[in-house]
A and B are shown apart, each in its own frame.
Chain A
């Protein structure tokens, strides 16, 4: 055994891992080699020093801390941990996701007229009597009194909200959305005026009942903004000069924000009423639309109902007739042309709202 062989076996020797033959050869070489004997002694001492190191002790309270950390956390803490830890990574990602989702929601909301209108307050009832809207037309010198006072016999909210469908009814393919139409017909009147006129709606349907108006109108008035008053129902165009110019028209976004401040109860009632009284849809094949429209308007008026003239590019008439006159209406319409109804009106006392497409 050479010196190098011997020194390679130092670790095996110190760990008592040599066979008996190897150990005998090891001891024999040590007995004859002073250098290897010295090196072996130093090696043995070194290992002895390392092995003699005092055992480390965990700090006081270590066990308790481990047990506390291992204890299952409440679900909400685990959830928070899962959601936000590590926060430098997850928080920016989650913030970006929230912004993205919010943006998408806004885009979808804005591109969906039905959603937008369902969140919007009711639009005014189409007018057949010009006197009421005229009374509402503002003048530069005298501010318009509260709408509720201008038309004390305002229709019940539920019924007035039925009329909202008159603006919503036509699909975007057939006609512009209600909001777009409002903008076009009232270029300077903010959308908020739609809400403002809630309590001052034009002529109510004949079946309107008085008590609702007194209870609902103030709530609607509470939601009024500071913008100019002066929405005119279709067919009655108020002069632009009549609108107060001191107050800038609020933006549509502002109008929507104010609408969201409306009392929850009123909002809920409006939505429910709107859903419960979805307009009937009908098609009437006529030869001359203009003639037919005039006759239909006259017919509806005779029946005690109201009608809303169709927009220039639209072929849809909005008709509101008392429930008891509905049968007469359909009979007369049948005389004008081939009438197709999608369904029968609900058997209720509310006025029938019919969207009649002239073909």
Chain B
């Protein structure tokens, strides 16, 4: 594979001044700061859990546990990484642990809620096709091996940089690239019939 250069979306971003202030307030035990954290990251954390687990109920459990662990472990947050990366790391670990444990209570995924393709109004045939494509995409992502699925979700759905993914998952950068590429090729092969 080629050499990766530093490009937008690939390298880890430094915490902003606002985020540094939020971290300081969180460490000081400011309840409002924690509320801000939850409000800011709730959808992203929930999204990762939903795409990994395929069940809204289970995803909510994991997302809630993610924030509770963050609340308890604020003292361990070094502040070098972004808060989002830290939360993604917690959520990813929880998802992978739950998937590996085999003790899942919600085996069936919520197909309709998992993936939604944006659709312009007034295009019935297109909407049907998009619905079918959305289901196929969901199936394709769900069929990915978990270690590849988490990488593609963090990169292509959540938009994390490679470095952030590596940090969140505790992987080497090369491993992240490799898994991501293989995941994308897997998806492409599963979506062949929708592609020109």
A42 and B63 contact, CB distance less than 8 A: no
Q: Which of A9, A55, A69, A70 has the most CB of B within 10 A?
A: A70
Choice from B7, B60, B63, B141 contacting A16 with Cβ under 8 Å: B7
Inter-chain contact total with CB atoms closer than 8 Å = 136
Report B-chain residues with C-beta under 8 Å of the C-beta of A111. Answer: none
A50 and B137 contact, CB distance less than 8 A: yes
Tell me whether A62 is interfacial, beta carbon within 8 Å.
yes
B56 and A17 contact, CB distance less than 8 A: no
**Complex Cα gap A58–B87 (Å):** 15
CB distance from B145 to the nearest CB of A (A): 16
Segment of B77-85, B94-102, B187-195 in the binding face: B187-195
Within 8 A of A (CB), among B50-69: 50-51, 56, 59-60, 63-64, 67-68
Segment of B12-20, B41-49, B121-129 in the binding face: B41-49
Given A11-B177, A70-B34, A17 and B4 contact (CB-CB distance below 8 Å): yes
User: Do most interface residues of chain A lie in helix, strand or loop, or is the interface mixed?
Assistant: helix
- The proximity string for A residues 39-62 relative to B, scoring 1 for CB distances below 8 Å and 0 otherwise, is 001110111011111111111001
A side interface size, CB within 8 A: 36
Choice from A50, A57, A58 contacting B156 with Cβ under 8 Å: A50
CB distance from A50 to the nearest CB of B (A): 4
Given A10-B184, A41-B196, A53-B137, A63 and B2 contact (CB-CB distance below 8 Å): no
B43 and A12 contact, CB distance less than 8 A: no
Report B-chain residues with C-beta under 8 Å of the C-beta of A18. Answer: 2-5
Tell me whether A241 is interfacial, beta carbon within 8 Å.
no
Nearest neighbor of A39 in chain B, beta-carbon distance: B188
Within 8 A of A (CB), among B98-125: 113, 115-118
**Complex Cα gap A19–B181 (Å):** 18
CB distance from B6 to the nearest CB of A (A): 9
A19 and B3 contact, CB distance less than 8 A: yes
**Complex Cα gap A67–B42 (Å):** 12
Tell me whether B180 is interfacial, beta carbon within 8 Å.
yes
Choice from A16, A53, A59, A63 contacting B35 with Cβ under 8 Å: A63
Report A-chain residues with C-beta under 8 Å of the C-beta of B194. Answer: 49
A57 and B46 contact, CB distance less than 8 A: yes
Tell me whether B157 is interfacial, beta carbon within 8 Å.
yes
**Complex Cα gap A41–B195 (Å):** 9
B43 and A43 contact, CB distance less than 8 A: no
Which residues of A approach B to under 8 Å, CB–CB?
8-12, 14-19, 22, 41-43, 45-47, 49-59, 62-63, 65-67, 69-70
28 contacts between A and B (CB under 8 A): A9-B1, A9-B2, A10-B185, A11-B177, A12-B2, A15-B155, A17-B2, A17-B4, A17-B10, A22-B2, A22-B3, A42-B196, A46-B187, A46-B191, A47-B184, A49-B133, A50-B137, A50-B156, A53-B117, A56-B46, A56-B51, A56-B59, A66-B38, A66-B42, A66-B64, A67-B31, A67-B34, A70-B68
